[in-house]
Amino acid sequence: MNDLFWIGPALVFGLLAVRIGLPPLIGYLIAGFVLNLFGYVDHDLLTELGELGVTLLLFTIGLKLDVRSLLKPVVWAGATLHMLVVIVVFGIVLFWVSLSGLAVFSDVDFKIALLIAFALSFSSTVFAVKTLEEKGEMESRHGQIAIGILIMQDIFAVLFLAVSTGKIPSIWALALFGLFALRGVLMRVMGRAGHGELLVLLGLALTFGGSGLFEVAGVKGDLGALLIGALMAAHPSASEMSKKLMSIKDVLLVGFFLSIGMSGHITLSALLVALVLALAVILKVKLFFFIFTRFRLRVRSSVLASFNLANYSEFGLIVGTIAVANGWLSGDWLVIVALALTLTFIAASPLNARGPAIYAAIESRVKRFQSQTRLAEDAPIDPGDARIAIIGMGRVGTGAYDTLKERYGDVIIGVDVEPDVVNRHQDADRNVIIADATDDEFWERCQRGKVNVVLLAMPELEQNLGVARHIQPRRTDSGHLLAVAQYPEEIEALKKAGVDAAWNVYAEAGDGFALEVIARVGESVNT
């Protein structure tokens, strides 16, 4: 197959998926199956591109990672408990089915059943991250929990790959701890990279340089990319670097999804087994929900985080590839896992898109699982006498807060999801609270208060759109919803989401700069 032949099918099926309300990655998966159906099975290049995309994805996750989030019991213990239960339950059931004599289970003994169950215990990092990014919910409470669980799973995956492939870390692996000593140097280099192509090149160098360094030391390269990203997460340019790498990452991941679809020939028996496995995801979702609520996470956050994890993972194919290479499984299981993965992706897309609406419909039935003792970050929120809420307390939000306070006094409240940001503003005597603005319950509390003006000042369009969609159904005729944007087309998108008015921060900065020049220079330029 021509190395670039895949671009056309990927584009066509990606557009068709978007047309019917599914994410484009579903189209890429289906394109892979269609190409396989017509005999195009040579996907070595796509596999290589996909591996680069996954490595870059892990690096960008690291750039946004707060390591402290992994230390929360709901994350590290929740991920571990869920994996153990799934392995035991799914493993026993798969072994029991193998006793029925079905041909596809002929090579499945108890150890292989546990191996398959292990592969099915993972949820897709690629799917969850892309879904949360598209909905602007990466910083939401449920989004942070889901990402934390996925990172723990990624760590388990890397450890498994290191053991199963027989790769024993060399003595040089100890030298990798020296990266912590080099962090200051890397931070300074990042500060001098500017905001253009050098920042992109530095991001790629850190991603694949770090991955290669770990590989040389006998450690899985993906873990290196994740850890290097986490080391740089505190830099002020980390978010900008992540955004600049996004397009490259997305294009590389097209190859990943296509290669999944092209991994094997579809048979009726494989499709039936995959369908049953896809239905079994319901058990994974319920187990996630039960574990989250037992760790005192609020019911709403538990439901939405469980929806984010309602699929199988691309890691299942990696496990299958290793098992087939070692002669443990027949090649049919690669197709089964790929099909089950695709089916759960298709089902999880509308589930996540309609997550808040689904929760509203089942709230009365699941509310009984709510813990009476709240976590600190889920403490009741009281906006007090605030009339103006600013969502996102970065530079724009902070500037707006200070200016509006001078004009209206102490009726302003700032809202942010980052504890460090909130603490910094509170130390500066600003009325700022930590809260998830994508949480319907937060807005219900605000609605019972006096807030009637909301300014969306977050840096990402998707984040502002996501919050706007939550506010819109609760607005009163006297309320005002305002937002900032970076480009003219973003203003139109915000208005379609219900925003009354939006300002282009770059254009407004230019106007303000010009007015300042006029005030200082006056008519002297004409004399």
Model confidence over 315-327: pLDDT tens digits? 777 777 777 777 7
Higher pLDDT: 267 or 301? It is 301
Is there a single domain that holds both residue 219 and residue 354?
A: yes
Tell me, what's the pLDDT at 514? 65
Residue 10 forms part of a structural domain: no
Is there a single domain that holds both residue 286 and residue 412?
A: no
Contacts of 283 (CB under 8 A, 6+ apart): 89
SS3 of 222-275: HHHHHHHHHHCCCCCCHHHHHHHHHHHHHHHHHHHHHHHHCCCCCCHHHHHHHH
Is there a single domain that holds both residue 290 and residue 224?
A: yes
Is there a single domain that holds both residue 392 and residue 359?
A: no
Residue 259 forms part of a structural domain: no
Is there a single domain that holds both residue 315 and residue 441?
A: no
Is there a single domain that holds both residue 390 and residue 461?
A: yes
Contacts of 9 (CB under 8 A, 6+ apart): 31, 34, 35, 258
Average pLDDT score over residue span 199-228: 83
Residue 175 forms part of a structural domain: yes
Is there a single domain that holds both residue 223 and residue 300?
A: yes
Q: What is the CATH number of the domain that holds 144?
A: 1.20.1530.20
Euclidean distance between CA atoms 301 and 142, whole angstroms: 5
pTM: 0.75
Model confidence over 462-509: pLDDT tens digits? 888 888 887 777 766 667 888 888 877 788 888 888 888 888 776 666
DSSP structure string for 346-371: HHHHHHHHTHHHHHHHHHHHHGGG--
Q: What is the CATH number of the domain that holds 396?
A: 3.40.50.720
Is there a single domain that holds both residue 353 and residue 403?
A: no
Tell me, what's the pLDDT at 468? 85
Q: Which domain holds residue 138?
A: 44-250+265-327+342-369
Is there a single domain that holds both residue 353 and residue 407?
A: no
Is there a single domain that holds both residue 317 and residue 387?
A: no
Phi, psi of 482 (to 5 degrees): -125, 155
Is there a single domain that holds both residue 362 and residue 393?
A: no
Give the chain's domain count: 2
DSSP at 526: G
Model confidence over 379-438: pLDDT tens digits? 666 677 788 888 888 888 888 888 888 888 888 889 888 778 888 999 999 989 888 777
Is there a single domain that holds both residue 348 and residue 409?
A: no
Residue 466 forms part of a structural domain: yes
Give the burial string for 13-26 (b: 16+ CB within 10 Å, else e).
bbeebeeeebbbbb
Tell me, what's the pLDDT at 478? 66
